[in-house]
Structure 1
Amino acid sequence: MHHASDILLTLFVVFIAAQIGAELAQRLKLPGVVGEIAAGCVVGPSVLGWITPDQIATGTPLDVLAEIGVVLLLFAVGLETRLEDLKKVGKVAFLVGVLGVIVPFAMGSLWAHGNGFGWSRSLFVAAAFVATSAGITARVLQELGALQLEESKVILGAAVIDDILAMLLLGAVVSLQGGEGIAVGHLLAVLAGAVGFIAVIGVGGARVMRWNSSWLDKPRNPQSALAIVLAICLGLAYVSTLFGLAAIIGAFLAGMIASETRQQHTLEKQTEPLLALLTPFFFVITGSKVDLHQLANAEAGVMLLVVTLIAIAAKLIGGFLGALPLGARAATVVGFGMVPRGEVGVVIASLGLTAGVFTDQIYAIIVAMSLLTAMVTPPVLAWLLRRRGAAGGG
């Protein structure tokens, strides 16, 4: 049972930890998100224990608040992303998304099989290498004011494709764990539904908003436009989960639709206080979920290092090859932008643990890999983007 006073104290601890972590990171010339994730590791169960495992379990107030935070973050990113801009990089984004799934899946399954897993379990392990966390990269791009760059459009477009393919792969490998064959017809139906949902909402919704958005101001509430688009955001976040997609995809689409309205700039300003309050919870909670005790021996440390290097290299190679038409410098930015696994890898690891596919140690290693890729990427991406700017690339 969660008492109101205990919840408020925990919220206070998490929020203050996020602010201190972000401030320290920025003083070290690192993106604030790195400090927020690190702060989560410190105040979480593995170090100070100010956040306990039962407080961050699925469905708890902290978990829900973290989910709302990342949903709002992707909504805000969508607000700065126009459909026409994504169309311009559509082919490159598709290549990046596809290769960014194939290469990590192949490398992850080979590593797992080489470490004694049977092929069906190896494929489950490999699924944790696949899906990019759009939330991590989006926050870095937003902090650096780089959302309008061509590379950023490619990353965001590829992240949507990545999510669809990762969802299909996960469905396939879960079927294999139960000894079932892969139901190709079912997977194709799921794929058609997901693509149809994105196409109808993304293209149809954008056209409707472009045609007439004055109805957003019809209610008497002076903030009616914000209230209505936030309702659309939450609604589409939910509907996207019905199609097997991450909630953040629906939130991103809602923001992209709202970016076509004449109230776009007002909406951006009005969402800033909400982001300042809620998004830090997502990153601190993400950091708090790693169990450092499972990694406190040399064997686990070496395995974590190898897994993390494979995870980084696989996404970097896939993203780089897919984005090569933009040039080597831009392709490197895109490749690193696709590296973070974040909460997606954590979710897949949790499914593997529940299904009995992973031991506690393998689970901890995959979760730690997901968080390490989330922490390593922001400073490297920031450095690459600053170099790009210094070289006159934007």
Structure 2
Amino acid sequence: MTLISPVQPFLLATASPENAPIVLSGVLLSLVIVYLASKVGGEISKALDFPPVLGELISGVLVGASALHLLVFPESGAHASDSLLMPVLQWVGGLTPEGVTEVFESQSEIISLLAELGVIILLFEIGLESDLRELQKVGSQAAIVACVGVAAPFAAGTAGLMLLFHVPAIPAIFAGAALTATSIGITSKVLSELGQLKSREGQIIVGAAVIDDVLGIIVLAVVASLAKTGEVDVMNVIYLIVSATGFLLGAILFGKFFNNAFVAIADKLQTRGKLVIPALSFAFLMAFFANAIHLEAILGAFAAGLVLDETDRRKELDGQIIPIADILVPIFFVTVGAKVDLGVLNPAIPENREGLAIAAFLIVVAIIGKVITGWSVFGQTGINRLAIGVGMIPRGEVGLVFAGIGSASGVLSKPLEAAIIAMVILTTFLAPPFLRLAFGEPSELAEQPALETEPQTLP
């Protein structure tokens, strides 16, 4: 104990020194639950011929706020008394009621942070598996898909809420904005599992999801300004547009000069991790820069992966990233599921009924508004337009962010908040099996063209 106790208060800064060891115990127990849930869910899903990520999401729901309450989070409205882990930790550590609350909040914060690291690693891995040249080829199509995928559900959702349900303008705009998001983490993982990430459809979906994420940040800034002041901060919106565009273009241009330097540095190092450590450092640095200019950290990680995908050490690096992703990425998917509360779908609760009616409308708009994006692709013969549209459907954690900010600002009524959460839940869980149906059987040949041309890129 004396070897690690000086470190614990530093690592667990949100907890008092005397409770830090119990917070660590809570984190360890939570990770055991996460890994068991992800593995059992993934294996069952795989056995049933569904993408494993669907099993991880559903397992998260089962261990989370909707069922077993083994993994619950304050940001979802849960309290220490809602967690079944807290009595165990209270018994082990002899905690006071105040100590239980402190431990609950601290260990939840750490698990959420690990989940954030997980999605950063996931997007870095997806960037490594993508092909920058192919993305550039479909860049115009991806941009159109993203713009249609933001504009169509936003306009239809906002207008429908105001006309059909007589929702005031600002809450309707906020709910419409929640419809614009696309979870690139969930979609890209499913595409990878189906062997479609490097297909034309996969590249358009990933490119559109990245652009969609940038547009989503701008939309969120607009509606957040509306919620706070009733008016839009135009300069902030202009800043976000310029910084997002500059960041992505700058990363691509920078990569053309950085690749040789990266390989030279890795070749000179002699110790273990000589390739993966510089790569992760670069990914985290890019994520930091993105976060620092008020973009999503995952955009920086994805850009870093795209840059390093152009090096001749990409295959080796990809193999070294996979074990790290296997450790951190399941935390992200299980926690996304765990933060979902299916209680908002219970019609037996009177206050849920209005929300369910609005939810049914939002779900229809959320699905149709994204599916039609596949038919906005031009100049591509023989392309699976349905798969592109379906790939844009899942809202995932991005939609929950909109709901959380709207709830915290007081803009959303309880029925409208419940409706948004219900929409996020169903679009998140419907997308993986729908993608499977849209693409048909998983294809090993989907990756074949990229594998055949790979040797030509080596010096």
2:394 match: 340
- Correspondent of 1:8 among 28, 31, 35: 28
2:68 pairs, out of 48, 52, 56, with 48
Q: What amino acid is the match of 2:134?
A: D
Aligned residue in 1 for 2:111 = 62
- The alpha-carbon distance between structure 1 residues 266 and 336, as it changes in their structure 2 partners (threshold 3 A), is same
Hey, what does 1:120 align to over in structure 2?
Answer: 170
Q: What's the CA shift for 1:387?
A: 5.6
Contact conserved, 2:154 with 2:176, CA < 8 A, in 1? yes
> For residues 366 and 10 of structure 1, do their structure 2 counterparts lie closer, same or farther at Cα, with a shift above 3 Å needed?
same
Are the counterparts in 2 of residues 57 and 63 from structure 1 also a CA contact under 8 Å?
A: no
Matching of residue 226 in structure 1 with residue 246 in structure 2: no
Cα offset, 1:243, TM superposition: 2.7
Quote the Cα distance in structure 2 between the aligned partners of 1:149 and 1:52: 38
Q: Is 2:257 aligned against 1:237?
A: no
2:139 maps to 90
Task: Give 1:388 deviation, angstroms.
Answer: 9.0
Deviation at 1:36, TM superposition (A): 0.7
- Identical aligned pairs, as a percentage? 34
After superposition, residues 254-333 of structure 1 pair within 5 angstroms as 254-297=304-347, 299=353, 300-317=355-372, 319-327=373-381, 329-333=383-387
SS at structure 2 position matched to 1:357:
coil
Equivalent in the alignment of 1:217: 267
Structure 1 length-normalised TM: 0.93
Q: Which residue in 1 is equivalent to 2:432? A: 378
Match of 1:350 in 2: 404
Amino acid at match of 2:384: A
TM superposition score normalised by structure 2: 0.80
SS in 1 for 2:229: coil
Structure 1 counterpart of 2:205, from 155, 166, 178: 155
Q: Distance in 1 between matches of 2:299 and 2:175?
A: 24
Aligned to 2:152: 103
Check the 8 A contact 1:163/1:245 in 2, yes or no: no
Amino acid of the residue matched to residue 305 of structure 1? A
Contact in 2 for aligned 1:206/1:258 (Cα 8 Å): no
Contact 1:56–1:63 (8 Å) recurs in 2: no
Structure 1 equivalent of residue 57 of structure 2: 37
Q: Which letter maps to 2:426?
A: L
Judge conservation of contact 2:46–2:52 (CA < 8 Å) in 1. yes
Preserved CA contact (<8 Å) 1:83 1:203:
no
Give the 3 Å change call, closer, same or farther, for CA 23–393 of structure 1 in structure 2.
closer
| Structure 2 counterpart of 1:12, one-letter code | V
Matched, 1:26 2:42: no
Larger radius of gyration: 2
C-alpha deviation, 1:29, in angstroms:
1.2
Aligned-pair Cα RMSD in Å: 2.4
Q: CA deviation at 1:362?
A: 2.8
**C-alpha deviation, 1:393, in angstroms:** 12
- Residue 285 and residue 393 in structure 1: after superposition, are their counterparts in 2 closer, same or farther (change >3 A)? closer
Q: Counterparts of 2:260 and 2:381 in 1: how far apart (Å)?
A: 33
State the partner residue of 1:202: 252
* Deviation of the 1:189 alpha carbon: 2.4
Q: Mind listing any 5+ residue stretches in structure 2 that lack a counterpart?
A: 1-14, 16-21, 75-103, 449-459
Cα 1:286–1:61 shift into 2, 3 Å: same
- Residues of 1 paired with 2:295 and 2:382: CA distance? 31
Taking the aligned partners of 2:205 and 2:261, their CA distance within structure 1 comes to 28
Distance 1:56 1:337, change over 3 A: farther
Instruction: Assess, with a 3 A threshold, how the Cα gap between structure 1 residues 376 and 63 changes in structure 2: closer, same or farther.
Output: same
CA 1:90–1:56 in structure 2 vs 1: closer, same or farther (change >3 Å)? Answer: farther
Match of 2:79 in 1: none
1:375 to partner: Cα distance: 1.1
Alignment-mate amino acid for residue 42 of structure 1 = L
Letter in 1 for 2:64: G
CA contact (8 A) 1:295 1:361 kept: no
Matches of 2:55 and 2:30 in 1, distance apart? 18
Matched, 1:176 2:231: no
Cα distance, 1:285 vs structure 2? 0.5
Task: Give yes or no for contact 1:210–1:260 (8 Å, CA) kept in 2.
Answer: no
Q: Assess, with a 3 A threshold, how the Cα gap between structure 1 residues 342 and 207 changes in structure 2: closer, same or farther.
A: same
In the alignment, residue 85 of structure 1 is paired with which amino acid?
A: E
1:253-291 Cα deviation digits (max 9, x unpaired): 011111111210011111111111111111111011112
Q: Distance in 2 between matches of 1:206 and 1:59?
A: 40
2:120 pairs, out of 63, 71, 80, with 71
Q: Which moved more, 1:103-112 or 1:347-356?
A: 103-112
Distance 1:128 1:56, change over 3 A: farther
Equivalent residues of 2:26, 2:107 under 8 A apart: no
Alpha-carbon deviation of 1:386? 2.4
Q: Which blocks of at least 5 consecutive residues in structure 1 are unaligned?
A: none
Deviation, 1:353, is 0.5
Q: Is the 8 A contact 1:41 1:287 kept in 2?
A: yes
| Mapped partners of 1:287, 1:237: distance in 2 | 24
Give the secondary structure class of the aligned counterpart of 2:384: helix
Instruction: Note the C-alpha offset of 1:45.
Output: 1.9
Sort the Cα spacing of 1:243 and 1:115 in 2 relative to 1 into closer, same or farther, 3 A. farther
Deviation of 1:350 after TM superposition, in Å, equals 0.5
Higher relative contact order (CA 8 A, sep 6+): 1
Q: Deviations over 1:318-371 (max 9, x none)?
A: x22322432475221111111111110011110000000123443233223213
Secondary structure of residue in 2 paired with 1:316: helix
Query: Is contact 2:165-2:358 (8 Å) kept?
Result: no
Deviation at 1:186, TM superposition (A): 3.1
Q: Quick one: which amino acid aligns to residue 292 of structure 1?
A: L
2:242, 2:418 → 1: CA distance? 34
